[in-house]
Amino acid sequence: MIEVRDLVKQYGDHTAVDHLSFTIETGQIYGFLGPNGAGKSTTMNIMTGYLSPTSGEVIINGHSILEEPELAKQNIGYLPELPPLYMDMTVKEYLTFAAQLKHIPKAEQEAAIAEVVELARLKEVYHRLVANLSKGYKQRVGVAQAILGFPEVIILDEPTVGLDPSQIIETRELIHKLSDGHTVIISSHILSEIQAICDHVLIIHKGQLVANGTPEELERQLADTSMELVFKSDDPNAIRALLRSFPEVERIRVNDPVNGEISAKAKLTQGADIREQMFRACAAKDVPLLMMHASTMSLEDIFLKLTQTNERRPRKRRAAASAPADADTAEQTPDAADAPAEKEAEQ
Amino acid sequence: MTAIYKRELRSYFSSMIAYIFIAFVLAFIGIFFMIYNLSSGYPRFSYSLSALMLIFVFAVPILTMKSMAEDRKNKTDQMLLTAPVTVTSIVLGKFLAMLTVFVIPLVISCLCPLIIATFGTAQIGSDYASIFSFICMGAMLVAIGMFVSSTTENQIISAVVTMAIMLVMYLWDSLVSLIPQTAMPSMIGMLVIVVLVALVIYSMSKNAMAAMIFAFVGMAGVLVLYFVNASAYIGLLPSILSAFSISHIVSNFTIYNVFDFGGLFFYLSVAVLFIFLTVQSVQKRRWS
């Protein structure tokens, strides 16, 4: 079991991880999901003891990574973003070195290495130099190193990057095999991958945990319930009043009439369904309802919503504010102001 | 530690660095041996080694440049630092691997006194004592080079900076002799030392108050002493600095036939200091 408590990591003024807290239970596959630069790798580097947090703590099977690093690291196998391979060694030498580093007893080393070689399908390159391997094989050597000795917690940072489709499927199968008895944490910015393998999803954005749950839970809890409607009417105010009369309606957007039709969008409280009431209310007010469509979000939409809203809204606002100023000399200022913000988000 | 030691040692021999280092040092030992002992017939091999430090100024940076910098550049330090081993054992493993490569040409040179002995009277005891003193000096030079390597990820910068530091160490006596013996320069030198120590205190503790207090108290002390008794400063700075002279230790062993325990202690304590600083430098990177 891993507990991450109130983790903060600052690089100068830039906050890479911002008060992150979560608990990871044994025997499940966890997925860290977030756009590039969200703080996934930094969090994993802190959890494995490579970086030290500015504040907060990580406890792995009861051992703090800061206070008892050797005991805590004994329980972890880690594949960083870039596999940490020594190019001047053969696969055999490299895995033997990894086994010695992990204090696997000499008598068991050979069997342990044979097992991971089998799992990661490295047999045909076992005696070759790491430098001469293809990217896919290098990645697999990295995975083999991480799972060597089968530590209780296996942390893989973007394990499928750079692999071809069949290798991606193989890696997924491997991760599935590992999941009995081990906790596996993988990170990715690819949603379908997380959805395919993980029992549990943690969505991170700008160093903060924005969602935490199984994929189904997230869909149920976070999906926006909204309705798109088209009325036959010329009076937007009447439509607004009609929509506002429902307690379930949280936000509305009513467009101006076009050819005697008014389109509107209403955001409802989570999971509400007011299609029937809407029909009756329109009938009572004698407003013909031309179209009604209830939409729900997929996990992908949720991910986009959680990770993009914070960025896009201020930009839109800024763009709107600068529009009248465009005629003046201040044409370049909004761009100049945008640029550093974008860079920061990508870091 | 043994796993890292073995890996590093193997990598030195698979990347040619070890061969180049050993060949370079052996070639010069051979040249000195040829000139002084074989051609001129001088029976003391230790005397031939007196110029060896200059060879190390150029050879040791080649050996140490990649020790920590390469791991950092290739991100293989992620594997070492997330493995259940301490930073100290990582650093010690690397240090001992380099020291092993360093020792090889000196061990081979142990044959030279025996060659002399077959043709005449060799001073075997003092010759081997000199070789041993160079091994201790190697521990110091390797530790310094390793520390420099841990502060950068560029091997060239690491080599050049290490070479510059070692050149200063080699030329130390001549540089110190440039400082005037009068009181005023010594006083200014002491002020500079106080300020430097205050800066170290600040950079280590980030406590501006403590550093300021130290700087002011120290500078006031130096100035008060100068006005009370200026003659105390005459020759003070050169005599303090010449205590760090290395060529002094080298000539004790190689020329004057003196077994300089103090010198060996100096070598080894500087080595320990820089191993400690390397560990701190690796640890610090995790926090920044």
DSSP category for residue B180: -
The partner residue sitting opposite B78, judged by closest CB among A76, A84, A97, is A84
Please judge whether B83 and A73 are an interchain contact, meaning their C-beta atoms are less than 8 angstroms apart: yes
Q: Are residues A228 and A260 in the same domain?
A: yes
Residues of B in contact with A11 (CB under 8 A): 288
Q: Are residues A227 and A306 in the same domain?
A: yes
**Residues A247, A315 contacting (CB under 8 angstroms):** no
Residue B202 host element (H or E): helix B183-205
Chain centre to alpha carbon of residue A42: 13
Confidence of residue A37 (pLDDT cuts 50, 70, 90): confident
Q: Are residues A159 and A26 in the same domain?
A: yes
Q: Are residues A142 and A29 in the same domain?
A: yes
Residue B117's SS3 state is helix
First CA to last CA distance, chain B: 26
Nearest to A119 by CA among A146, A98, A93, A101: A146
CATH number for A37: 3.40.50.300
Lowest mean pLDDT among A71-75, A318-322, B178-182, B266-270: A318-322
First CA to last CA distance, chain A: 30
Residues of B in contact with A47 (CB under 8 A): none
pLDDT value at residue B57: 93
pLDDT reading at A332 higher than 70 = no
Please judge whether A52 and B79 are an interchain contact, meaning their C-beta atoms are less than 8 angstroms apart: no
A82 touches chain B (CB under 8 A): yes
pLDDT value at residue A86: 93
Cα gap A188→A141, rounded to integer Å: 19
Q: Are residues A179 and A252 in the same domain?
A: no
**Residues A100, A114 contacting (CB under 8 angstroms):** no
Please judge whether B14 and A88 are an interchain contact, meaning their C-beta atoms are less than 8 angstroms apart: yes
Residue B221's SS3 state is helix
**pTM: predicted TM-score of the whole model, two decimal places:** 0.81
Tens digits of per-residue pLDDT, A136-190? 889 889 999 999 988 989 999 988 877 888 888 888 888 888 877 788 999 887 7
Residues of A in contact with B78 (CB under 8 A): 45, 50, 78, 80, 82, 84
Q: Are residues A63 and A203 in the same domain?
A: yes
Q: Are residues A44 and A74 in the same domain?
A: yes
Q: Are residues A193 and A230 in the same domain?
A: no
Confidence of residue A223 (pLDDT cuts 50, 70, 90): low
Nearest-CA distance A326 → chain B (Å): 42
Q: Are residues A58 and A189 in the same domain?
A: yes
The last residue of a domain, from among A191, A216, A241: A216
**What value does the mean pLDDT take over residues B10-17?**
91
The last residue of a domain, from among A179, A200, A216: A216
Classify the complex by whether its ipTM is higher than 0.90, answering yes or no: no
Please judge whether A87 and B3 are an interchain contact, meaning their C-beta atoms are less than 8 angstroms apart: no
Its domain, for residue A147, covers 2-216
**What value does the mean pLDDT take over residues A234-246?**
86
Q: Are residues A11 and A131 in the same domain?
A: yes
What average pLDDT does chain B have? 91
Confidence of residue A224 (pLDDT cuts 50, 70, 90): low
Please judge whether B84 and A101 are an interchain contact, meaning their C-beta atoms are less than 8 angstroms apart: yes
Confidence of residue A243 (pLDDT cuts 50, 70, 90): confident
Please judge whether A84 and B77 are an interchain contact, meaning their C-beta atoms are less than 8 angstroms apart: yes
A56 touches chain B (CB under 8 A): no
Q: C-alpha angle with apex A9: A56 to A5, nearest 5 degrees?
A: 25
In DSSP terms, which residues pair with A20 in a beta bridge?
A: A7
**What value does the mean pLDDT take over residues B165-187?**
89
Task: Provide the token pair at B125.
Answer: 């005891």
Please judge whether B82 and A98 are an interchain contact, meaning their C-beta atoms are less than 8 angstroms apart: no
User: Which site among B11, B78, B82, B87 would you substitute to test the A interface, given the most A Cβ atoms closer than 10 Å to its Cβ?
Assistant: B82
Tens digits of per-residue pLDDT, B34-85? 999 889 888 889 988 888 889 999 999 999 999 999 999 999 999 999 999 9
pLDDT reading at B28 higher than 50 = yes
Cα gap A30→B207, rounded to integer Å: 42
Residue B199 host element (H or E): helix B183-205
Tens digits of per-residue pLDDT, A45-80? 999 989 989 899 899 988 998 888 888 998 899 999
Tens digits of per-residue pLDDT, B210-234? 889 989 999 898 888 888 888 888 8
Task: Provide the token pair at B224.
Answer: 């008060």
The set of long-range contacts for B16-20, using a CB threshold of 8 Å and a minimum separation of 24, is: B17/B62, B17/B63, B17/B66, B17/B101, B18/B63, B18/B101, B18/B104, B20/B62
- Give chain A as a 3 state SS string: CEEEEEEEEEECCEEEEEEEEEEECCCCEEEEECCCCCCHHHHHHHHCCCCCCCEEEEEECCEECCCCHHHHHCCEEEECCCCCCCCCCEHHHHHHHHHHHCCCCHHHHHHHHHHHHHHCCCHHHCCCEHHHCCHHHHHHHHHHHHHCCCCCEEEEECCCCCCCHHHHHHHHHHHHHHCCCCEEEEEECCHHHHHHHCCEEEEEECCEEEEEECHHHHHHHHCCEEEEEEEECCCHHHHHHHHHCCCCEEEEEECCCECCEEEEEEEECCCCCCHHHHHHHHHHHCCCEEEEEEECCCHHHHHHHHHHHHHHHHHHHHHHHHCHHHHCCHHHHHHHHHHHHHHHHHC
Other CB atoms within a 10 A radius of the CB of residue A110 amount to 12
Please judge whether B76 and A85 are an interchain contact, meaning their C-beta atoms are less than 8 angstroms apart: yes
pLDDT value at residue B55: 93
Please judge whether B2 and A100 are an interchain contact, meaning their C-beta atoms are less than 8 angstroms apart: yes
Confidence of residue B285 (pLDDT cuts 50, 70, 90): confident
CATH number for A246: 3.30.70.3100
Task: Name the percent of chain B lying above pLDDT 70.
Answer: 100
Chain A 252-281, residues with CB within 8 Å of chain B CB atoms: none
Tens digits of per-residue pLDDT, B49-63? 888 889 999 999 999
- Total tally of structural domains belonging to chain A: 2
Tens digits of per-residue pLDDT, B103-155? 999 999 999 999 999 988 888 999 999 999 999 999 999 999 999 999 999 99
Task: Provide the token pair at A331.
Answer: 């044409």
Q: Are residues A161 and A59 in the same domain?
A: yes
Tens digits of per-residue pLDDT, A88-104? 999 999 999 999 999 99
Residue type, B58: F
Q: Are residues A189 and A273 in the same domain?
A: no
pLDDT value at residue A212: 85
pLDDT value at residue A338: 40
The last residue of a domain, from among A174, A197, A216: A216
DSSP category for residue B39: I
Which residues are CB-contacts of A124 (< 8 A; sequence separation ≥ 6)?
Answer: none
pLDDT value at residue A100: 93
Residues of B in contact with A78 (CB under 8 A): 78, 82
**What value does the mean pLDDT take over residues B168-192?**
88
What average pLDDT does chain A have? 81
